[in-house]
Structure 1
Amino acid sequence: MLEVHGELDMATSPQLREGLQRLVEAGDRQIVVDLAGVRFMDSSALGALVLMFKALREVGGRLSLASAQPAVRTVLTITSVDRVIQAYESVPAAEADVSRTDDETGR
């Protein structure tokens, strides 16, 4: 899991991407991004999330989002990113779904 705080914008999106990349390089394949502490997200952050979603998918992994505040959820919905990257109401809900999916697929 990656817990994110503050604003996700042009200045911080590289840190988001690097944090996710470190998890992938460490072998994580089921990553939940906890957005509870994020109050603003721009297109550069969306791009970083989609890029890492694709990178994880290529190695058989999965990126999920959790606990997005209303302003961030609106951005995810307006841009249809929530149709590509699964968004959950809470981290436990995301982790439970990841565990259930792993059990079903044997991964």
Structure 2
Amino acid sequence: MSPRYGTRFADTGATATLLRITTTTGSGAARIVHLNGQVDQDQRLRLESALERAVADRPPRLVVDLAGLGFCDSTGLNALLKTRIAARAAGLPLVLAAPTSQTRRLLEITGADEVFTIYDSVRAALADTAAHTE
């Protein structure tokens, strides 16, 4: 049985974290959505709902922090692309920050890295936000 179903790892005794979503406000009132754990079909509704709420709040900029993602499949990619369309319709800049190697590879092989603005860190995304508002 895979960790996705809550199986305990024999070597650590820890249960895998499926997906934890937290939201914070950064410099310039940018909204940061932090994703930690795994994004797959089982987590789709939670992820889409969190991203929809973030767009609906209309912050000056939306940053999706991918640093904590251990796994992201096409479900996560589709949620990000759907959010990009909604953000664009709302006139809201959406950027991705700190993708893990697996997530970066997913973005690259699908060509999604060509449609998103991607920063190496949340700090870099926020610094760029500050530079554009001064």
Task: Note the 1:16-27 alignment, pairs <5 A.
Answer: 16-27=47-58
Runs of 4+ off more than 3 Å: none
Q: Which residue pairs with 2:88 in the alignment?
A: 57
| Residue 125 of structure 2 corresponds to residue 94 of structure 1 | yes
AA paired with 1:25?
Answer: A
| Structure with greater contact order relative to length (CA < 8 Å, sep ≥ 6) | 1
Question: Secondary structure in 1 aligned to 2:42?
Answer: coil
CA RMSD of aligned residues (A): 1.3
- Equivalent residues of 2:40, 2:72 under 8 A apart: yes
State how many pairs are aligned: 103
Q: Which residue pairs with 2:38 in the alignment?
A: 7
AA paired with 1:34?
Answer: D
Structure 1 residue runs without a partner (length 5+): none
Q: TM-score, normalised to structure 2's length?
A: 0.71
Tell me how far apart the structure 1 counterparts of residues 68 and 52 of structure 2 sit (CA, whole Å).
20
Q: Which residue pairs with 1:48 in the alignment?
A: 79
**Do the aligned partners of residues 17 and 29 (structure 1) sit closer, same or farther apart at CA in structure 2, a change above 3 Å counting?**
farther
Q: Which residue pairs with 1:73 in the alignment?
A: 104
* Structure number with larger C-alpha Rg: 2
- Equivalent residues of 2:58, 2:92 under 8 A apart: no
The structure in which a higher percent of residues are helix is: 1
- How far the C-alpha of 1:29 sits from its partner, in A, is 4.2
Question: Secondary structure in 2 aligned to 1:13?
Answer: helix
- Equivalent residues of 1:7, 1:41 under 8 A apart: yes
Tell me how far apart the structure 1 counterparts of residues 47 and 133 of structure 2 sit (CA, whole Å).
25
Tell me how far apart the structure 2 counterparts of residues 62 and 11 of structure 1 sit (CA, whole Å).
28
Structure 2 residue runs without a partner (length 5+): 1-31
Q: Can you list the C-alpha shifts for 1:36-93, whole angstroms capped at 9, x where unaligned?
A: 1101111111111001101111111111111111111111111111111111110011
Tell me how far apart the structure 2 counterparts of residues 38 and 51 of structure 1 sit (CA, whole Å).
19
Matched residues, percent identical? 36
- How far the C-alpha of 1:94 sits from its partner, in A, is 1.0
Question: Secondary structure in 2 aligned to 1:61?
Answer: coil
- Equivalent residues of 1:32, 1:91 under 8 A apart: yes
